[in-house]
């Protein structure tokens, strides 16, 4: 099976073609002065209508670096084109209040399991059967909870649980109680920069480091080690950005350390080991951890973001809808399938995954995939591409305003919390 065969291309349905031929007469979007397509919808650059690029993906042992594009990432322009065709998409913006009940449930279950393994079942249990049960539970249940916690921290990062920015930060920290390592607020900072500078070399913390590309390439054994150590690599990439921690990150660290001490005290070392093992499984070989690869690893030329439409979305709060999320970061997890249904012509022609297990399998065993299977761009090309959008009439300039070199990460976060960033 070739790499491109490992993702699925859905042919546009008749409904999609009909939808593509319509424009919403109720739209209040001012028609930009730029090029229009045959349906009278705005075209912000040559990639219109789906903004798929013209670059070729990087192949290990053939190419030495990630693929390079010469224009900005596609999602902000997709968003404006979609709003011109479907202004009712804005009705999906908002929060998902039920997420807070998911937080309460899964944090309670994980802490209860840590107590059970550490203080109840472990009493007098030293055999292989006990440890096997702990390991299996840590993978199946603990790993699942870890991934759910990650999804919820992601929702809190985008302000999609509560109306208040402070409450969303608190929600992330409370969720983090089920993880023995403080990640919520650091993830928030780096993830918002990933959205603001997707693929920009030196600014997007999600891109691989040079030593990852050179060391791993397409080697199967090296990729197994890469996935095994992915929790560590995520931290290393963040440290490589050399950004000063925010006050909320310090609060997150203190809260997590206090929680760890209490867990060790009341659940014992075995209970703490269960939580640590759950974290490691959840961010490495758990099936849902494949979404880290699914989202932006380039399985085909020209497309840098991929969605997953398999059945596990129902359990993991639609985290697979990644194109949809990048197109509209202010739509909560519960409404992402509705977004896709409202604008099928923008999604039905894109490649997507239908199996997370196959994503892991293909990444490990296909020699033409590796950490270098990403696409990047220079900051200058990013700015040039953004200016194409800013130059068009009717576009919110604040939304695409560029952060100059030297601005602190807090500037980006403050703009996000104030509603300026990503508000369309």
Tell me the average pLDDT across 288-306.
97
Handedness of CA 278, 284, 288, 291 (dihedral sign): positive
Residue at token pair 């909320």 = 248
Of 168, 151, 160, 194, nearest to 409 (Cα)?
Answer: 194
Tell me the average pLDDT across 368-383.
96
CA–CA separation, 90 and 358 (whole Å) = 34
Q: Is the pLDDT of residue 24 over 80?
A: no
- 392: pLDDT confidence band, cut at 50, 70 and 90? low
Give the pLDDT confidence score for residue 198 in this predicted structure.
Answer: 96
- On whether the CB atoms of residues 33 and 393 are closer than 8 A, the answer is yes
Q: Is the pLDDT of residue 408 over 90?
A: no
Least confident residue range of 60-74, 134-148, 240-254, 293-307: 240-254
CA-CA-CA-CA torsion for 263, 267, 269, 274, nearest 10 degrees? -90
Give the pLDDT confidence score for residue 404 in this predicted structure.
Answer: 37
Q: Is the pLDDT of residue 31 over 80?
A: no
Task: Provide the terminal-to-terminal Cα distance of the chain, rounded to the nearest Å.
Answer: 40
CA–CA separation, 420 and 416 (whole Å) = 6
Instruction: Please tell me the pTM assigned to this model.
Output: 0.86
49-52: long-range contacts at Cβ-Cβ below 8 A with a sequence spacing of 24 or more?
49/20, 49/81, 49/345, 49/346, 50/74, 50/78, 50/346, 50/349, 50/350, 51/75, 51/77, 51/78, 51/81, 52/302, 52/303, 52/350
Of 157, 251, 170, 244, nearest to 196 (Cα)?
Answer: 157
CA atoms within 13 A on the CB side of 129: 3
Query: Could you tell me which residues come within 8 angstroms of residue 73 by beta carbon, excluding any fewer than 6 positions away?
Result: 198, 199, 304, 377, 382, 385
């Amino acid at each position: 099976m070739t790499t491109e065969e490992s993702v699925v291309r859905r042919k546009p349905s008749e409904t999609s073609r009909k939808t593509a031929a319509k424009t919403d007469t109720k739209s209040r979007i001012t028609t930009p002065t730029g090029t229009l397509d045959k349906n009278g919808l705005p075209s912000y650059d040559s990639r219109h209508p789906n903004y798929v690029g013209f670059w070729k993906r990087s192949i290990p042992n053939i190419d030495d670096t990630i693929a390079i594009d010469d224009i900005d990432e596609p999602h902000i322009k997709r968003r404006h084109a979609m709003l011109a065709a479907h202004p009712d998409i804005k009705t999906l913006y908002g929060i998902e209040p039920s997420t807070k009940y998911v937080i309460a449930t899964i944090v309670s279950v994980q802490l209860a399991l840590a107590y059970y393994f550490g203080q109840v079942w472990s009493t007098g249990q030293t055999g292989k059967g006990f440890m096997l049960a702990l390991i299996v539970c840590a993978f199946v249940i603990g790993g699942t909870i870890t991934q759910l916690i990650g999804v919820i921290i992601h929702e809190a990062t985008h302000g999609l649980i509560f109306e208040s920015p402070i409450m969303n930060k608190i929600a992330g920290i409370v969720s983090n109680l089920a993880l023995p390592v403080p990640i919520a607020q650091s993830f928030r900072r780096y993830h918002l920069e990933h959205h603001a500078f997707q693929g920009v070399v030196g600014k997007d913390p999600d891109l691989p480091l040079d030593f990852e590309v050179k060391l791993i390439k397409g080697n199967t054994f090296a990729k197994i080690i890469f996935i095994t150590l992915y929790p560590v690599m995520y931290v290393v990439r963040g440290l490589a950005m050399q950004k000063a921690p925010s006050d909320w990150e310090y609060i997150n660290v203190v809260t997590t350390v206090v929680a760890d001490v209490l867990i060790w005290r009341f659940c014992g070392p075995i209970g703490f080991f269960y939580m640590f093992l759950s974290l490691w499984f959840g961010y490495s070989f758990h099936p849902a951890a494949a979404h880290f690869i699914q989202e932006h690893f380039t399985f085909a030329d020209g497309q840098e973001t991929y969605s997953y439409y398999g059945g596990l979305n129902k359990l993991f709060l639609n985290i697979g809808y990644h194109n949809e999320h990048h197109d509209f970061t202010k739509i909560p997890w519960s409404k992402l399938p509705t977004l896709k249904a409202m604008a099928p012509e923008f999604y039905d022609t894109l490649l997507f995954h239908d199996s997370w297990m196959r994503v892991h399998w293909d990444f490990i065993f296909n020699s033409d995939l590796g950490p270098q299977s990403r696409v990047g761009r220079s900051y200058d090309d990013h700015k040039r591409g953004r200016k194409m959008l800013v130059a068009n009439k009717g576009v919110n300039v604040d939304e695409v305003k560029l952060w100059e070199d030297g601005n602190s990460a807090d500037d980006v976060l403050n703009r996000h919390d104030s509603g300026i960033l990503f508000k369309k």
